[in-house]
Amino acid sequence: MIHAGVIAVQGDVSEHARAIERAAAAHDEEATVHEIRQAGVVPDCDVLLMPGGESTTISRLLQQEGIAPEVQAHVAAGKPVLATCAGLIVASHDAKDDRVETLDLVDVTVDRNAFGRQVDSFEAPVDVTGLDDPFPAVFIRAPLIDEVGEGVEVLAEWDGRPVAVRDGPVVGTSFHPELTDDVRLHRLTFFTDLVAEAAD
Ligand code: GLN
């Protein structure tokens, strides 16, 4: 049984809840989903999902509710996180916006709404390291990852720009994997070790 926490202070929560349940099922596991709106739940979670939404609101509520340090402790303990879109903005080192208090879980700098000013939302197939076929990436007022730290692996690019990265146990995407039926990114984030073990 995997205890999966979905940050639920704001944003697309139910989609991630369904995706982690389906990803777990694909690995003969069962996921119990905990919606996180207050402190005290994250320490009981094995994996965390940080959904898209509005990064200014999400970061303010995470600080206000005392959830932010718990998420940082989760990552410091080496436990996995999937942070998507606004979730990635909040998880980044710097979002270059004073209204977003970033958690510094992923050593990248992001530019909020960088794609969005030209193109509000679009879907594009992107090649992701570790996946055999392109992933149908849905971008909605997506952040641009513009600086990538040394320890960060770029997992996918679109138009020459990083759109999916891994920094230790944290995977961050500019796009919304939870808005498609494709749960391969959830599987890649949370079950890579299991996959590797199964292959051994
Ligand atoms: N542009 C939004 C923000 O800055 C993120 C959009 C999204 O999560 N789809 O928070």
> What pLDDT is stored for residue 179 in this prediction?
94
Q: Residue ranges per domain, the chain? A: 2-199
Top-level CATH class of 2-199? alpha beta
**Strands 106-111, 144-148: parallel, antiparallel or unpaired by DSSP?**
antiparallel
> What pLDDT is stored for residue 113 in this prediction?
78
Q: How many residues does the chain have?
A: 200
Give the position, in ligand 1's atom list, of the atom nearest the Cα of 57. Answer: 10
> What pLDDT is stored for residue 197 in this prediction?
45
Q: Which residues line ligand 1 (CB under 6 A)?
A: 52-55, 85-86, 89, 112-113, 140-141
Residues of the chain with pLDDT under 70: 116-119, 193-200
Give φ, ψ of 20 to 5 degrees: -70, -35
> What pLDDT is stored for residue 172 in this prediction?
98
> What pLDDT is stored for residue 118 in this prediction?
56
Residue with tokens 């209204």: 99
> What pLDDT is stored for residue 173 in this prediction?
98
pTM here is 0.94
Give me the catalytic one of 16, 74, 178, 186: 178
